[in-house]
Amino acid sequence: MAVQRTFSIIKPDATNRNLTGAINAVIEKAGLRIIAQRRIQMSQAQAEEFYGVHKERPFFGELVEFMTSAPVVVQVLEGENGVAAYRDVMGATNPADAADGTIRKLFALSIGENSVHGSDSAENAEIEIAQFFTADQIVG
Ligand code: DAT
Ligand code: MG
């Protein structure tokens, strides 16, 4: 596998608890480089577009409300096999199922308030990165 980029969000439950630095430390310790980062207040339209794949799911409204409830930190991460490497360090969606040492095991509050997002494929990583960053904002 080659060096690959992925898209990350540090979610409102984590920014509310002042955990941006602690989460970044786990990311960097796992060998991923933070090559772009910005703190934003997501709009309802941005959250609905970003999670569009889930719009028919029963939790969609709650998810959009949560993602717009406080600032988030959007990031581009880069590393060897970056998409899968970040999914590994994030841990399972439900923190109750997440492995020891993962971000969600360490910090997540619930399946909804689960501290971080990470792309699930290289294709989606490209789409998600382009939603929040222009090429000149990413310095690898
Ligand atoms: P992941 O974030 O691990 O990729 P996902 O893409 O299946 O998980 O879902 C996106 C987010 O939606 C997830 O991080 C939290 C929320 N979510 C998923 N399943 C949920 C559920 N059963 N109840 C409440 N929120 C849920
Ligand atoms: Mg997902």
The per-residue pLDDT for range 11-44, each reduced to its tens digit, is 999 999 999 999 999 999 999 999 999 999 999 9
Instruction: Give the distance (Å) from ligand 2 centre to CA of residue 53.
Output: 9
Q: Are 44 and 123 in contact (CB under 8 A)?
A: no
Q: Model confidence over 73-128: pLDDT tens digits? A: 999 999 999 999 999 999 999 999 999 999 999 999 999 999 999 999 999 999 99
Ligand 1 pocket test: which of 59, 90, 127 has the largest number of ligand atoms within 8 Å of its C-beta? Answer: 59
Whole-angstrom Cα distance, residue 104 to residue 9? 13
Q: What is the mean pLDDT of residues 50-65?
A: 98
Q: Which atom of ligand 1 is nearest to the CA of 11?
A: 14
Residue 65 predicted with pLDDT over 90 = yes
Residues annotated as binding site? 11, 59, 87, 93, 104, 114
Binding residues for ATP: 11, 59, 87, 93, 104, 114
- Catalytically annotated residues: 117
Kindly state the tokens that stand for 24: 């970044």
Full-model pTM: 0.98
Amino acid 4: pLDDT: 98
- From the number of C-beta atoms within 10 Å of its C-beta (0-12, 13-18, 19+), residue 136 rates as exposed
Q: Helix 20-29 to helix 82-90 angle, to the nearest 10 degrees?
A: 130
| Domains, in order of start, for the chain | 3-42+72-137 (3.30.70.141)
Ligand 1 pocket mutation, candidates 63, 83, 110, 113, criterion most atoms within 8 A of CB: 63
Read off the tokens for 60: 């969609």
Please state the separation of Cα 109 from the chain's center in Å.
Answer: 15
CA-nearest residue for atom 24, ligand 1, is 112
> What is the number of other CB atoms lying within 10 angstroms of the CB of residue 71?
15
The bound ligand whose nearest atom lies closest to the alpha carbon of 117 is: 1
pLDDT class of 1 with cuts at 50, 70, 90:
confident
Name the closest ligand to CA 51. Answer: 1
